A and B are shown apart, each in its own frame.
Chain A
Amino acid sequence: MYKYASPRNFYHLAGRLLPWLTAATVMLLLAGLYLGLFVAPPDYQQGETVRIMFIHVPAAWMSMFVYVLMAGAGAVALVWNIKLAEVFAAACAPVGASFTVLALLTGSLWGKPMWGAWWVWDARLTSELILLFLYIGVMALQASIDDPRRAARAAAILALVGVVNIPIIHFSVEWWNTLHQPASVSKVGTPSIHASILIPLLTMAAAFKAYFFAVVLLRMRPAILEREKHTTWVAETVEESA
């Protein structure tokens, strides 16, 4: 395990893993989309529009999962000074932000037929929007610091402050929402989800996870090369592939 904490070994490991992750992403995505779009039954109230859920819900899950992962990697980078964790956290931010945008867009598309408006100040949509702002803050901070080590440590501190704040923001938005809007939106489905919906949902969630790790590895590889450009192994690797 420790062997792969060195940038060089990780670079090659990532190169070997990438085709597998890409294949898993494609297969899971195809299976999930087929199950979600053709096999799952339409909702008795929402009709076919309920199928947006198979994109929307996994995207929203990922948006939070990635932020927590990024903050965790930031903590590891701050405490143990591991370069790979810095590279990983930096690679996470744009991917997590795009999941958040996807969740917001699909939420808005879903909202139009359901609530009759493109945007409703629903508690979950609002906290998702604030999460997007948090991601943008981390990315803007990273972008404005030239030294990669300082950028990574500053972003890690911000991500950690953010991760402590996310539950607070979530619950305050929920409180604010119930104060201002009487419950006009009924939740989708009953507490127990039928397997015909749950299976495509979980397949899509797995597809999004595989996609995330594939993209992060893809983003990490050039970042590792750039950081280690003064070492001989990078020179050798680049020469080999040239």
Chain B
Amino acid sequence: MNPHSLARAVLCVFRRDLTVALRRSTDVLTPLIFFAIVVSLFPLGVGPEPAMLRALAPGVLWVAALLAAMLSLNRLFANDHADGTLEQLLLAPHPLTVLVLAKTAAHWVLTGLPLVLLSPLLALQLGLSAEAMGTLVVSLALGTPVLSLIGSVGAALTLGLRGGGVLVSLLVLPLYTPVLIFGASSVTAAVEGLSTEAHLSLLAAFLVLALSLIPWATAAALRVSHD
């Protein structure tokens, strides 16, 4: 492989982000533990009746996953911004959109994927049926990459700003609503024994749309933040 090829650059960025994050593995675990704690708080808040918990489960799991995904956003660019790596990426001869996509993919592997893998356990706690659990995993697997992608715009826009953490939630959470609606309602439909195909297809459509449009916006935002 040509040492300067785009594929190689993408692979390098992706692998580097994974390595750096795994060296600081508590960073990877924090959003996961947050996810588990938030889901466990709900029974304490609304009471332990299984019927009610089952009814609330899709919404609770999805909202908790959404918040956990959002909390991890500052990790996406902040450290690279602080140590100058991001500047090197901006100067690289490769298109920034593709490099951004590689970084977002690494971010998803570190935050979204663990959420997807942990979700069946938490769904069990809330008494979700096996059928619905499969839908939950599929819907999260389709939805969390969209959350990472939308979040990357927010993270890029708030780079180096005061109050960046709270600000990013203000920017990103309203944009998350369609994913939340279709993610949670797919699980609800599965609980009720209805077809989930329409919901999951729409989530997949969001993913395709986000994959093709968002990296441009994130790259533009990074350039603005570095002016």
A residues with a Cβ closer than 8 A to B are 78, 130, 133-134, 136-137, 140-141, 144-145, 147, 149-150, 153-154, 157-158, 160-162, 164-165, 168-169, 172-173, 175-176, 179
Contact = CB atoms under 8 A, between A and B. Distances in A.
B174 A140 contact: no
Given A130-B177, A161-B217, A179 B185 contact: yes
Contacts of B221: 154, 157
Given A136-B170, A164-B213, A149 B227 contact: yes
9 contacts: A78-B220, A141-B171, A144-B158, A144-B163, A150-B225, A169-B174, A169-B177, A169-B178, A179-B185
Contact of A154 (B173, B181, B206, B225): B225
B74 to A, nearest CB: 14
Nearest to A139: B170
Contacts of B136: none
B182 interface: yes
Contacts of A165: 175, 178
Main secondary structure of the interface of A (DSSP, over half): helix
Given A140-B170, A141-B158, A160 B185 contact: no
Given A160-B217, A176-B181, A154 B175 contact: no
Contacts of A172: 177-178, 181-182, 202
Contacts of B206: 168
A141 B157 contact: yes
Nearest to A132: B174
Interface in B139-167: 150, 153, 157-158, 161-163, 167
B69 to A, nearest CB: 17
B22 interface: no
B177 A157 contact: no
Contact of B161 (A145, A153, A175): A145
Interface string B187-227: 00000000000000010001000000110010011001101
B219 to A, nearest CB: 10
A209 B105 CA distance: 44
Contacts of B185: 175-176, 179
Given A144-B163, A150-B225, 7 more contacts: A136-B170, A141-B157, A141-B158, A153-B227, A168-B178, A169-B174, A176-B185
Nearest to B223: A153
B174 A137 contact: yes
Given A136-B170, A144-B161, A153 B224 contact: yes
Nearest to B162: A144
A150 B159 CA distance: 12
A176 B157 CA distance: 30
